[in-house]
Amino acid sequence: MSQVAVVTDSTASLPAEMYERYQITMVPYYVHFPDRATRDMVDIKPQQFCDYLTALPDNATLPKSANPGVGDYLTAFAAAAERACHIVSIHMTSVGSGAYQAALIAKEMAAQRLRGVRIEVVDTRNVSMCHGWIALQAARAAAQGATLDDVLDLVRRMIPVTRMLQTADTLRYLYMGGRIGRAKHLMGSLLSIKPLVSMEDGVIVTLGVARSRLSAYRKMAGMVERAVGTGARIRLALTHAAALQDAQTLRDLVAAVVKPVEVLFCELCPALTVHSGPGTVGLCYTPEQV
């Protein structure tokens, strides 16, 4: 039996083979359509969801995302306990989701059912493949025999240095979701504005705008270079919503200024794509060693 099992959720946006290779338990978020509820990355997949969003008229109501419930995490913890002595449950920022709180409640309930199994619940204060990198590196450490305390120490070192940059291709979905008004949507669309965002201590922050996709990607590459230094060795994930070619362009720009020692291309899960829409491209990076 392994010492540590890693549990995370679908918003980590890890490639499917990584869940399988490192035995990471993935708990799906929910995506609610007007006529049905679906499990994120199980019943609804990224390309299928992007096609659905693209076909919606501007006056349509966007689907809603919802975090897993306490019962979902109890089930995941019980399954993980069958193959490991202890569990670390890794979550996106608690500021933007109730998953962390649901997992904390599940942890308390599991104490009576899974005696002797220590469960630790972690708020990464981040999202997407920043959350994903932390879960993946934790699982890799566990696979090499790390103790739970060793894994937690690694996770805590990674949290402050794992960063996300992202740009949306259009303001349409921010407008449809009620996050910007019609006037700002129309003006932004006329000027072809591409907003640049990141996350600081669990909260989305605006970094500025660009007037084209390529300009946005160049700005993002420059931000990475300034943050870590020219030629720095990093693990790099390119995230996208039905925009693989753009993600590849961004990869090339970043690889020209730093040295990625690992590169992953990751489709954003529907529970995240609903907030920014098809065409979204981003990057998540962490230093090679922390």
Asked whether residue 234 is assigned to any structural domain, the reply reads yes
Give the confidence band of 175 by pLDDT, cuts at 50, 70, 90.
low
Domain match, 134 and 20 both: yes
Lowest mean pLDDT among 111-115, 119-123, 125-129, 264-268: 111-115
CATH number of 122's domain: 3.40.50.10170
Mean pLDDT of 65-78: 97
Asked whether residue 56 is assigned to any structural domain, the reply reads no
Give the confidence band of 60 by pLDDT, cuts at 50, 70, 90.
confident
Residue 32 structure tokens = 């609610």
Angstrom distance (rounded) from CA 116 to CA 130: 31
Domain match, 14 and 106 both: yes
Quickly tell me which residue has 């970094």 as its tokens.
207
pLDDT at 275: 87
Which of these three, 116, 136, 159, is where a domain ends?
Answer: 159
pLDDT at 194: 87
pLDDT at 174: 62
Asked whether residue 61 is assigned to any structural domain, the reply reads no
CB 34 within 8 A of CB 61: yes
Domain match, 77 and 155 both: yes
Which of these three, 133, 159, 185, is where a domain ends?
Answer: 159
Q: Measured on CA atoms in the order 108, 114, 119, 121, is the torsion positive or negative?
A: negative
pLDDT at 186: 39
> Could you read off the pLDDT of 178-209 as tens digits, one per residue?
554 443 443 445 446 788 889 999 988 888 88
177 vs 105, more confident: 105
Asked whether residue 49 is assigned to any structural domain, the reply reads no
Residue 175 structure tokens = 């407008």
Domain match, 198 and 283 both: yes
Residue 248, CA atoms < 13 Å, CB-side half-sphere? 4
Strand, helix or coil for residue 71: helix
For 120-161, give the DSSP string. EEEE-S--HHHHHHHHHHHHHHHHTT--HHHHHHHHHHHGGG
Quickly tell me which residue has 């997992």 as its tokens.
103
Domain match, 104 and 218 both: no
Domain match, 94 and 186 both: no
Which of these three, 143, 159, 175, is where a domain ends?
Answer: 159
Give the confidence band of 76 by pLDDT, cuts at 50, 70, 90.
very high
Domain match, 155 and 281 both: no
Strand, helix or coil for residue 108: helix
Number of structural domains the chain divides into:
2
Mean pLDDT of 114-127: 95
Asked whether residue 76 is assigned to any structural domain, the reply reads yes
Domain match, 142 and 170 both: no
CA distances from 132 to 99, 211, 223, 253 (A): 15, 30, 21, 22
Asked whether residue 171 is assigned to any structural domain, the reply reads yes
Buried b / exposed e along 168-187 (16+ C-beta atoms within 10 A): bbbbbbbbbbeebeeeebee
Give the confidence band of 52 by pLDDT, cuts at 50, 70, 90.
very high
Alpha helical stretches, state H, 4-118? 16-21, 46-55, 70-81, 99-113
Asked whether residue 230 is assigned to any structural domain, the reply reads yes
pLDDT at 190: 40
CATH number of 268's domain: 3.30.1180.10
Asked whether residue 59 is assigned to any structural domain, the reply reads no
| pTM, two decimal places | 0.94
Domain match, 219 and 255 both: yes
Domain match, 107 and 176 both: no
Residue 88, CA atoms < 13 Å, CB-side half-sphere? 29
Angstrom distance (rounded) from CA 235 to CA 264: 8
At 276, which helix (H) or strand (E)?
helix 270-276
Range of the domain at 251: 163-287
Domain match, 138 and 185 both: no
pLDDT at 183: 36
Domain match, 89 and 172 both: no
